[in-house]
Chain A
Amino acid sequence: MVVKEYFSENSILLVVVPKEQYLAKTIEILKELEMSMEKICYVCLTQPYSALSDLLKKNNIDKDKFRFIDVLTNTVQNTNSTSNCTYVSGPSALTEIGVAFSKITENTNGSLIDSITSLLVYEDENSVIRFTHSLMTKTRIQEMKAVFIALKEDTNTNLIKDLYMFSDKVIYFSSIKSQISEIMKGERQ
């Protein structure tokens, strides 16, 4: 269980995962959201809708439960939005992403934003913090639930600490290397 148990008392979860566990944890979260919600808005900032679609299929996750916001495809090929996927012009178009998010979440119970730290490649830290703060506020006003994924390797920036103030719960996953080191330390004691 990654996020489901926290939703009874919290609306906004920030999940910080190490790169090596990113894919596995994201799939776990997707499965939990698929099982617990009717419609979910999936803002994917790391891969295009076509790749995501294959990933969901491969993991037996019902794609029809999701409404997607694709920020990457239009940077290489103009694609018109469909009923289940909204294509925005690019990852730097934060206002456009925010508008699409507001529109889609009118008809969803929750959302997954994956991963917020990948925006740091395109935008400065304060812009990413302000953008994330606005998505979190929209989520609260619409009385929805949301999971924001962030990569642990980016935690040396202020981003994670600042987002902590706006979230209800931050869930940290440690890397396998540090898990092993903790176990070894415990055995030595």
Chain B
Amino acid sequence: MNKKMIIVLPVEEFEGEIADIMRNFSESKKNGIYLCLNKPINYRIELLNRQKININNVFFIDSISGMEKEEGNTIFLGNISSKKIISAIAKMIVGEPKKDYLFIESLRTLEIYEGEAGLSDFLMKLNKKIIENKMDMIALATNHTEHGKILTYFDKVINIK
């Protein structure tokens, strides 16, 4: 059974939670996709390295560094666009090795750029791909905004206060 989980938490806890989740994936040697929405990939890798988290099995999608290219394990998208993100995820999913999970750094950031309806549409399309490919999905969301509508796309909601 694959899981789709949303973790709602204060912004102050984001970095700690990201490190915990990625450490878990790393220790279980799972292959997965990390969607960078808050900080550019180079800086994110530096932060994960500081925490001594092995990222050899992680494939990154960077939507904020402002360039559009593919390099190593990373697809750079140029800007935050849910359409581009869906295409990049689809491309990564079909590639080897099989991806076990998708980690979304911040749904709030996607909402800031795409609006509430855009975020909802993104999750609907993404859900289909996640189910088809038997992947897990974990997404972080801030607790200072409402998430009523999008919670329906997840099997499990965890609230951290």
List chain A positions with a Cβ less than 8 A from chain B. Answer: 11, 126, 129-130, 133, 137-138, 140-141, 158, 161-162, 164-166
Q: Are A166 and B113 in contact (CB under 8 A)?
A: no
CB interface residues, B 49-100, toward A, < 8 Å: 64-66
Contact of A137 among B40, B106, B108, B144 (CB under 8 A): B40
Chain A residues near B38 (CB-CB < 8 A): 165-166
Question: 11 interchain pairs (CB within 8 A)?
Answer: A126-B112, A130-B113, A133-B64, A137-B39, A138-B66, A140-B40, A141-B66, A161-B142, A165-B106, A165-B108, A166-B38
Number of A-B residue pairs with CB-CB distance less than 8 Å in the complex they form: 44
Report yes or no: A129 in contact with B112, Cβ–Cβ below 8 A.
Answer: yes
Q: Which residues of A contact B12 (CB under 8 A)?
A: 164
Contacts of B11 in A (CB 8 A): 161-162, 164-165
- Residue B28 interfacial (CB < 8 Å): no
Residue of B nearest to A170 (CB): B12
Task: Give chain B residues whose Cβ lies under 8 Å from the Cβ of A161.
Answer: 11, 142, 144
Task: Indicate whether A141 sits within 8 Å of B40 (C-beta atoms), given known contacts A158-B145, A164-B12, A165-B11.
Answer: yes
Contacts from B to A (Cβ < 8 Å): 11-12, 14, 38-40, 42-43, 64-66, 106, 108-109, 112-113, 142, 144-145
Across the interface, name the chain A residue whose C-beta is closest to B10: A161
Are B64 and A137 in contact, CB atoms less than 8 angstroms apart? yes
CB distance from B146 to the nearest CB of A (A): 11
Task: Verify A158–B144 contact, CB threshold 8 A.
Answer: yes
Q: Which residues of A contact B64 (CB under 8 A)?
A: 133, 137
Q: Which residues of B contact A133 (CB under 8 A)?
A: 64, 109, 112
**A-side contacts of B42, CB under 8 Å:** 140-141
